[in-house]
Amino acid sequence: MRKLIAVLTLAVATVALAPRSVAAQEADCTKNYVSCLNDSYQLSGWLQTLADLECFAEYTGCVTREIMKA
Amino acid sequence: MRKSILLPLLLTACSGDGEEATYHLVPDFADRATPVTCAPADLGEVAIEELRAATDTSFVVLDAAQRRVTEFSDDLRAIWSLEYDEYGPAAVDRPVSAALLADSAVAIVARGGLKLVILGRDGRLIHAERLEFVPHAVAATGDELLITAVPMGGSPGSLLFRFSGGAMEEVAVPPREYADMLVGALGNQAAVETLADGDALVVHRLLAPRAFRVAADRATVASVPLPTPDATAERIPFVPRAPVTAAQSGDMLVPALAVSVDRSRDEVYLLTRSGREVDGRWQRAILRADDHLGFLSAYTLDAMAVHMAILPRRRAALVGDALDRIYLCRLDADTHAE
């Protein structure tokens, strides 16, 4: 689980450093993901881990929806 | 007179991650597929999270915006509808998939809380539990549920779980390996559908044309080559690099936007991209196959569908687009037989 948290943190950094030319819809996915992670930061322990997982799952779903619309 | 589509070619190719992959390329797919004009259909106000065939004469809409699961008859009349709770033990938060259990219950898997919730059609809570994985899709057969998982950071080690008799157990359907966690999550989202004989199909929705047939005992899992439009072949090796953006979506393979099964005829329908670009977007196609995914026939649609439920009695596909517009697409299943 610690490895997962580290990987999630890296994923956030990657997303946050994405080029500013990213499309508006993707920016929404990213923005929502970062906002979600900020909210989960209020929690602690396994609740925070669960919340982080949910944030990542939502981000994955958001990106998937954008891909499938094309 | 229609030309029959040539026998599909079986090719073996290596993915960008070095895995052996098999798939059927359907030659001249877009040219030989039957063009279908889809007619607008009215289900009232719906926001489609999932559109799913239920029986031979009905389908289910999971509407996350209205917190509602509705079964419709294939003449588009609502048969029953359930509004689920936002809070409390029976709450469902950010659902992704629903399946009908026998005649009396509905199973919903949700990202919020990573939950499985089983409700009676009167909204009564039957069972709720936290999952050890992020769920993607659920299917039901008898009293058993099959749930596909989205692996994150290498966990879980299988794409499929079985819930029966109150117990959750892993079914050995291997995820595809990717170096990047987000790409791995995207590429391992899989649809699951049950077949008339009790077997199940697990089909990847993005990136790799990859499918598995899971025997009714859930102990035997076999890779099944997925029929794939030939014009999309050059996209098969493509693996996006993080950060994944929609700009890369044109390079991605989308093997199955949706999967739907006609159990009365043992046929499987895949909603996919034909490989042709129309007005800057990828044309949609429906690929009809037998229950071992042997190609039978193909149809191209004039609707930009992202959801699909097959309506066996009407020999039609009900599809929904990203703006929740619904269309009925009549399919001629008697042509292009192999």
pLDDT tens, position by position, B10-45: 333 334 444 455 688 999 998 889 999 999 999 999
In sequence order, which residues have a C-beta less than 8 Å from that of residue B128 and are 6 or more positions away? B89, B90, B115, B116, B117, B118
Q: Count residue pairs from A and B with Cβ separation < 8 A.
A: 90
Q: Do A50 and B114 touch (CB under 8 A)?
A: yes
pLDDT at residue B299, rounded to an integer: 97
Q: Within a 13 Å sphere around the CA of B9, how many CA atoms are in the beta-carbon half?
A: 11
Contact list, A59 vs chain B (CB under 8 Å) = 182
pLDDT of residue B257: 96
Type of residue at A5: I
Please judge whether B254 and A67 are an interchain contact, meaning their C-beta atoms are less than 8 angstroms apart: yes
Instruction: Give the model's pLDDT for residue A4.
Output: 59
Residue of B nearest to A22 (CA): B245
DSSP secondary structure, B143-207, as one string: TEEEEEEE-BTTBSS-SEEEEETTEEEEE--PPPP-SSHHHHHHHT-EEEEE-TTS-EEEEE-SS
Select the residue of B94, B186, B245 nearest A64 (Cβ to Cβ): B186
Using the predicted structure, report yes or no on whether residue B235 has a pLDDT greater than 70: yes
The residues in B 226-255 lying below 8 A from A, measured between CB atoms, are 242-247, 249-250, 252, 254
DSSP state of B2: P
pLDDT at A50: 86
Q: How confident is the model at residue B153 (pLDDT cuts 50, 70, 90)?
A: confident
Asked if residue B90 has pLDDT above 60, the reply is yes
CA distances from B315 to A66, B54, B207, B266 (A): 30, 15, 29, 13
Whether B209 shows a pLDDT value over 50: the answer reads yes
Q: What average pLDDT score do residues B85-101 get?
A: 95
pLDDT for res B175: 96
Chain A: closest CA distance from residue B1 (Å): 34
What is the model's pLDDT at position B6? 36
> With bands split at pLDDT 50, 70 and 90, how would you rate the model's confidence at B2?
very low
Measure CB to CB from residue A56 to each of B96, B152, B304 and give the nearest one: B152
> Average pLDDT over chain B, rounded to whole?
90
Show the CA angle centred on residue B62, arms to residues B54 and B325, nearest 5°. Answer: 100
